[in-house]
Amino acid sequence: MKVENLMSKNLITLNLDDDLNKARDVFNQHSIHHILILNDEEELAGVITDRDLFKNISPTIGTRNESHKDVILAHKKIHQIMSRTLVCGQTEQSISEAVLLFHDNHVSCLPIIDEQNKPVGIITWRDILKVIALQYRKKNN
């Protein structure tokens, strides 16, 4: 099986200069764990995870306990906290090759890019686990 058969093509992206408030809204609205970050040329520039966001935003934001400092932190730009060192895949790679990329690089998502470094899909470790579970069920039924 190839990566293109498993990857999600419905990409949720933000831009480098979007703030953490916007990222929080996107995570909440879509119930996802990874957002691809694009530069002005629509090329992949980074990834932000929900864990990155939780490390950098106060849990009291949007509550009656919100402080001025919380508001300032929420306006921090995504490019200040995103991962820039990316491990990416290609559509023609096999799922086995993708699994090795996950394992060898200790990443939780694999953005899939084209020749122009533009994202065309994303695979997460949950997608890989789903394939393994389905294969196991098929084998044991």
For 35-60, b/e burial (b = at least 16 CB within 10 A) is bbbbeeeeebbbbbbbebbeebbbee
pTM over 0.75: yes
What pLDDT is recorded for position 16? 97
The owner of tokens 């200790």 is 106
What CATH class has 3-140?
A: alpha beta
Domain ranges of the chain: 3-140
Q: Over 90: is that where the pLDDT of 38 sits?
A: yes
Instruction: Write the pLDDT tens digit of every residue in 20-35.
Output: 999 999 999 999 999 9
Instruction: Write the pLDDT tens digit of every residue in 43-86.
Output: 999 999 999 998 988 777 777 887 888 777 778 999 999 999 99
The owner of tokens 């686990």 is 129
What pLDDT is recorded for position 74? 79
Provide, rounded to the nearest whole percent, the portion of the chain with pLDDT above 70. 100
What pLDDT is recorded for position 61? 75
